Each structure stands twice: as C-alpha cells, then as structure tokens.
Structure 1
Amino acid sequence: MLFRSWEQAPTATRGTGAGGGVDRWPGVARVADHVGVEHLLVTRHALVRRVLTEAETYRPDNALDAVTPMPVAALRTLAAHRFRLPPTLANNGGASHPGIRALVADALHPTRVAAQRDWLAALVRRRVAELDATLTTGAPVDLHAGLAADLPLLVLARLVELPDAPVAAVKDFARAALELFWAPLDTDRQQALAAEVGRFHRVLREFAATGGGLAASLRAAGHPPDVVVGALFFLLVAGQETTSQFLTLLMHRLTGEPAVLAGLRDGSVAVADVVEEGLRLEPPIVTWRRVAAVDTTLGGTAVPAGTSIVLWLARAGRDPAMVDSPDEFRPGQRGSRRHLAFGAGAHRCVGDQLARMEAATVVAEAAPLLAGVRVLRPPRYPDNLTFRMPDAFLVGR
C-alpha cells in the first residue's frame, strides 16, 4: 500500500479519529509497509501541517531511517567508506539546526536566486530550440534527459560552489541515495547502492575539507566535517534531484492540460499559478516522516511515543477542505498555494524559491513546445516511499 497506491485514497481500517467507521478520506489510518512495520498514515491537510509545525511533539529523527532495514553487508560497505550523516538539516531536531539552516538559506537567498534567472532562461531557451529542431525531423525526444534532469544541479553549482564532479556521477549518486534509504529493496540491490553512495560520500568528504562557498561558510562557523558533508548531501539529494523530478512531472501534466497551455500563450494564465498548482497536484515528494516524541493524540487517534508517522503530502494537497477542485488542474483556484510540497514549520524547504524560479522558467520557455507534442511514453516511477523519481519522458510531434 505504501508504494503502489499513492494515487488512491486509503480506506480507513482502525484509529480513524472522530466518527470511526470506514471513511474514503480518513485523517489518520494505520498501515503496514513491505516488511510489516506499522506506521500512522496522515492524509488531511490540517493534520499534516500540525505534525510538521509541532516540532517538540513530532521529531524529524527518523527522516533518514532506511525503509528497508539494511543487512550487515551493506552497513559494512558504508562503514568502509566512513559514511556518516549526523543531524544537519532534514534529520536535525536539535539546537544546531537553526544555525546550519541559516547558512544554507543565505547561500540560497532569493536575491542570489533571482540573479540566476536570465542565465537559466537562456539555457532553457537553447535546449527547447534544440528539442524542437529534433522533433521537426520526426524523431522523438526525451524531455526528462534533454531538458529537466540536470538543470537544477547546474543552477545549484553556481549558487553554492559544488564539488567539481561530472554531472552524470552526481545524478547517479543522488538517485542511488533516494533508492537506498526510501525504497523496498532486496539485499543484492542494497549492497550495490551502498557501494555507490559510499564512493561518492568520499568525494563529498574531500570537498567539505577544502571547498569554498557554502562548505567554507560552514567550516568558518565551526561546524565539524561530518556536518559539512551532511549539508552537502542534503543539497545534492533534496536540493536538486527533487526539482528535476518536479520539472518532468509538471511537463508531463501540462501535455494533458491544453486549456492551461493555451492560457499561458495568450496571457490569461499566470506562470506562477501554474507552478503552484503543479506543486499541489504533482509534488515530487509524496510523503515525509516524523516520529512521535511523546504520547499524544492526532485526529482523535492515540499516538504513543515512538510511533512512526508517514505524512502523505501529496494527498494533503487534494484535501477537499483545502481546495475547491481537488483533482482538477486549475491555476489560481482557492487553496492552490496552500499545498505542503515544501513542508511547513522549522524544516520547511529552504530552497523553495529556487525551485519555484526554475519551474517558472521551464514553464515559460517550454509551454509552446509542450502544446505541440504527443506523449509516446510517459514517465515511469519505481516503488519508493517518498520520491517519485521519473525515468524518461518521450514525446513526438
């Protein structure tokens, strides 16, 4: 259920809160994952937001717990590469979090982000022209690989002075990390992923010791090497991979929304509204996790301390209590901007303005191209608790 049914509302089983019984839209439901571990699945917008904002009651300590428990062999492989991820950003509920977050926020300050817009628009324009020329010959194109996959990484590299590693290697590392920690896996696959993640962790460790930009700022603030590595890890995984996923998800959705594309062309639909509606309906992060720090209740359901909580961010964006037309792509509708694609509270995504700028640029430049294509193969998504991870998006004229 936790992997293949993200497009379906669950049927409450027990512990659904006030009213009890069976409800197509339970606020809280108990579900088991592929290894039999029980989680509290939270779907209602108000309840999801409550968990995200009540930091003392619901902690982020389990954010990086592997969904599939790692075997000894994989753990030894990670240890051999000195792989460690101490509390830094998404997994940090301690006193060091505000200071680390402030340094990352400064690197991704809206003014610095805005300064990248013209450069990015020119790059996207060139790529769209190349894709259009290929389509004109009658050949198909992959909009994920040809347009979306590496754009966020290229922008991020300019903002935070990322290590000088080949783009393909960084992308492979990021996807490997998303799979290793958040996917249902067999032991052979875990071992292979552990080796790949461990090797790149060594690159990050070397850069953390000598690199400029954000790495230098973290060192200057007195943070130990493991914290610098952890911050770089989160940026490379969450700071760019999720945005490239969203760009592909949004482009795919727009190919099925001709009225929206027409509105973009004639100016009756705002690009910013399209991005927000895309974040509401097609977020790249479908869930996030918290753990109850104390005994509490949520939506009328008892939540003992230590309970694993899965927040269904994507379903919260379609809560009828929050938006007029939950399943329709209607840019600018009431509630469209209240989505939780970037989370909420102390751990709200620090790169939200960067992601919005990148998505708005791609929508503005690629809308005419999207209006003139047909989908040959939509993106496919591997089983994953949290991330969509589209592979390819093939279109033809």
Structure 2
Amino acid sequence: MTSPTPAAATAPSGRCPFSGDAGDFSSFFSGPYQQDPAASLKRARTEEPVFHDPETGYWVVTRYKDVKRVFSESKSFSAAVTLAPVMPPSAEAGEVLQKYAFAPSPVLIDSDQPVHRTIRRLNAPVFMPENIDRLEDFIRTTTNRYIDRFAEKGQADLVADLLWDVPCLIALEFLGVPEEDVDTVRKLATSMTEFIWGQASPEEQVHAAEGLGKFWAMAGRIVEKMKQLDNPPGWIGHTVKLQREHPELFPDSYLQTNVIGGTMAAHETTTNATANALLTLLQNRGQWDSICKDPSLIPAVVEECLRYSSSVVAWRRTAKVDVEIGGTTIPAGANVLMVIASANHDEDIFDAPDEFEPTRSNSTAHIAFGHGPHMCLGNHLARLEMKIFLEELSRRLPGMRLDDQEFTYLPNTSFRGPEKLQVSWNP
C-alpha cells in the first residue's frame, strides 16, 4: 500500500487533448460524484470518455467497453496500485504506520500475473457456491436477530441498526474469526477506506493512519492465534494451511494483509450494496411492493440494484505501456480510475440506464464485481447476503417507508453507500 505517483497533468504532444475536468465534472470527493457518480459523468461518457483529473492525477475511464478492457488486459495494466492511497500520505501519517510496522504484501486484489493466477486458483475452493451456501442459516438467523431488536419500534436507521453489524459478523464468520468485536473491526475498516480511497486533511489522515495501524496489529494477532491451530477455520484458516504448503507464496505479511483486506472487502461492499438497494427500492415504491408480494422476484432485483447503484463505484490500475483507450493515449506509468458506476449506466449498453428496471434483459451484464481475471471471488456471498436481507425485510416490514432525510456518503473515490438510512413503518 505505497503511495502512487500521479500521472502527468499534461497530454503528450500530438495525442488526444483533454479538458482536465471533462466538461461539468468537478471532484471525486464532493458534490455530484458522491450523490450520483453515474450522472456526474454522463457528459464525459458522451464527449470525453477518457480524461485526466488533475486533482488526483488519475486518468478516468467512463465507458462500459473501455472499463472492461482495462480490467481484462493484464499485459497492459497492473493491479499493483489497487491498495495504494489515492492521495499521497503525509510524512506524519507515514510515521504512524511505521510505528505499527505496517508492511503489507500483494494479495489477490493487487497482485499481477502470473502470481495472481496461482494464488487465485489456490484460494478459489473457499468461494465455491457449495461452501458459501453453508452460511445461509447463519446469515438468515443473524439478520432476524437484529430485526427483532427494532421491529416493534416502528422506526430504524437500517445502516446503524442492521447493516453496520450484520455484514461484518458474516464476514468474520466466513474468515474464521467470529469472536472479534464487530464494532471495533468496523471502525478500523472505515479508517482503511478513508486512508486509501479518501481525501483526508493532514489531521484526518493521521487519525485514519492510526486506525489502519491498529487494524494491521489486530490482523497480526489473529494470524498468530490461527497459526497455533491444527485445523484453523474459514478463509483465513485456509490461507494459513496454504502457507504450510507454499511458504514462498504466502508469507506472514500476506496472511496479515489478507485479514484486513478480506474483512474490509467482505463487509464494506455488502453493507453499502444493501443500503443502496433498499434506498433504491423504497424510492421506487412499486418495485418494493412487488417483492413484498412475490419474493421470487428478488434475485432479479438484486442484479438490477447492483447495476443501478453499485457499492464499488470505481477501481484502479496503472498503465504498463502507452495504451490507447477510448481514443485517448494513456501514457506508461499513469494511474487509471475505472468508474464502474458510469460503465453500468452506459447508454450504448443499457436502454434507459437511469431507470430502475429489474425486468431488463441484460441487467446481469453489469460489472459491479469487476471483470476479467480479477473479477471478485466473493460475488456469490454478496448476492446471497443481499437476497436474504431483502427477503427478510420485505417479509417482516412490508410497510417500511423512507423518512424525510438528506443522504450523505463517506467522501472517497471508490465505495458508496448512504451513511444513514432512516425508515418508519406501522408496528
């Protein structure tokens, strides 16, 4: 997780010019992008589908076919920048991380070929549907236990009262460390999001670095504890066993990085994806009423929710060579931001993309889980969780409605979900 070197802020001579802000685009950390990333880049998709953003130093890719191409071409684009801070960290933040001996290794998410192919193959068995489906009873029971706490109150903040804890509890169960304090883990994971994908002030960056350092230290304790077990459980247990067979591929730093990356990825994305789905459905009341009457519609609704309002709105790569994308040459060494949310609203791929329509014929063509060799291994778990959340909430609280409120989002380039989701119903 080293800081990336920003791409040059001027276009190479003779290549396609860029505006620096693609017309009406302003910032990745405030305003329209936070509220509606796809809409904020609509003009860019039409007039300037690849442009340079001077604020971050990244080249921004907005169209569906171009985003898929960057994801797919591992010979031209490196994943090594994925977990590097978008904005270079301050010296003070770096000192905080040094205090915790923060030294992550490349893992699945930020390794390149051929290493990525090998470690993905070795990790894949944990993510097979037959293994994920064993968690269904745990997910459903835990979800209902939390709904029980507020069902008679007639109101709730679904993020604070349900989606803050439950996806994290599921993540910890999947990882094999269910005894960890969920609130501590969730807060430390939020520090990771702020530090890597946000635009914190120097003071905020030091605070986030402190949280990330504590997260790293916690991961080290978990790894050491699990290494003492003959048959450690969960995904982390699986990587401990892989270390015993392939120590050169899975050093302790890999295991430790996998704990913090796996914990963050397994719950941060599902928390946001489910909150986005519930917000979308309650804003489209007819669709909510439809799944309350007919739960068999939910799988298709989940897919359209993932397309319409994905929780991972952007992902990153670095160009290994000069490469032309969308009529623009991105220079070797430049960092690239692929805006998944924009791609999923590309008018060339999806008819009336700004309409929420679960019956559309190609909703599953979305790339909410990425594309190509790095496509998210945890997609089946995420879909299962979202399905169960929608099934249980629509079954138990069909009269749920949105309260009057302003929706706010944690400022960052890549993850999006409302910080609060206040609802009411007749108990």
Q: TM-score, normalised by structure 2?
A: 0.84
CA deviation after TM superposition for structure 1 residue 388, in Å = 1.4
Distance in 2, matches of 1:42 and 1:149, equals 31
Secondary structure of the equivalent of 2:255?
helix
Q: 2:186: which partner in 1? A: 171
Structure 1 residues without counterparts, runs of 5 or longer: 14-22
Bigger shift: 385-394 or 374-383?
Answer: 374-383
CA deviation after TM superposition for structure 1 residue 42, in Å = 0.8
Provide closer, same or farther for how the CA distance between residues 365 and 159 of structure 1 changes in structure 2, counting only shifts above 3 A.
same
CA deviation after TM superposition for structure 1 residue 208, in Å = 1.8
Residue deviations 1:118-137 (CA, integer Å, cap 9, x gap)? 232233234334422110xx
CA deviation after TM superposition for structure 1 residue 256, in Å = 0.9
Q: 1:261: which partner in 2? A: 288
Distance in 1, matches of 2:221 and 2:242, equals 14
Provide closer, same or farther for how the CA distance between residues 60 and 370 of structure 1 changes in structure 2, counting only shifts above 3 A.
farther
Distance in 1, matches of 2:145 and 2:180, equals 24
Distance in 2, matches of 1:285 and 1:198, equals 24
Distance in 2, matches of 1:102 and 1:209, equals 24
Conservation of the 8 A alpha-carbon contact between 1:260 and 1:269: no
Equivalent residue letter for 2:167: P
Pick the aligned partner of 2:307 from 252, 270, 280: 280
Pick the aligned partner of 1:236 from 255, 258, 263: 263
Equivalent residue letter for 1:366: L
CA deviation after TM superposition for structure 1 residue 387, in Å = 1.2
CA deviation after TM superposition for structure 1 residue 219, in Å = 2.1
Q: 1:16: which partner in 2? A: none
CA deviation after TM superposition for structure 1 residue 391, in Å = 2.0
Provide closer, same or farther for how the CA distance between residues 379 and 10 of structure 1 changes in structure 2, counting only shifts above 3 A.
closer
Bigger shift: 331-340 or 346-355?
Answer: 331-340
Bigger shift: 103-112 or 343-352?
Answer: 103-112
1:85 paired to 2:113: no
1:131 paired to 2:146: no
Equivalent residue letter for 1:3: F
CA deviation after TM superposition for structure 1 residue 68, in Å = 2.0
Equivalent residue letter for 2:28: L
Instruction: State the aligned residue count.
Output: 381
Distance in 1, matches of 2:42 and 2:417, equals 26
Which aligned pairs between 1:1-397 and structure 2 lie closer than 5 A? Answer: 1-4=27-30, 5-6=32-33, 7=36, 8-10=39-41, 24=46, 26-33=48-55, 37-135=56-154, 140-162=155-177, 164-211=179-226, 212=232, 213-220=237-244, 221-222=246-247, 223-267=250-294, 270-368=297-395, 369=397, 371-397=399-425
Distance in 2, matches of 1:348 and 1:284, equals 15
Conservation of the 8 A alpha-carbon contact between 2:289 and 2:398: no
Equivalent residue letter for 2:49: G
Equivalent residue letter for 1:281: Y
Distance in 2, matches of 1:381 and 1:370, equals 26
Q: TM-score, normalised by structure 1?
A: 0.90
Distance in 1, matches of 2:409 and 2:107, equals 29
Equivalent residue letter for 2:98: A
CA deviation after TM superposition for structure 1 residue 24, in Å = 4.0
Residue deviations 1:215-266 (CA, integer Å, cap 9, x gap)? 4223223211001111122111112111111111111111111111222133
Secondary structure of the equivalent of 1:353?
helix
Provide closer, same or farther for how the CA distance between residues 25 and 111 of structure 1 changes in structure 2, counting only shifts above 3 A.
farther
Secondary structure of the equivalent of 1:128?
helix
Equivalent residue letter for 1:98: R
Conservation of the 8 A alpha-carbon contact between 2:172 and 2:263: no
- The percent identity for this pair of structures is 26
Secondary structure of the equivalent of 1:41?
strand
Distance in 2, matches of 1:103 and 1:231, equals 14
Provide closer, same or farther for how the CA distance between residues 209 and 215 of structure 1 changes in structure 2, counting only shifts above 3 A.
farther
CA deviation after TM superposition for structure 1 residue 377, in Å = 2.8
Structure 2 residues without counterparts, runs of 5 or longer: 1-26, 227-231
Conservation of the 8 A alpha-carbon contact between 2:159 and 2:419: yes
Distance in 1, matches of 2:383 and 2:177, equals 21
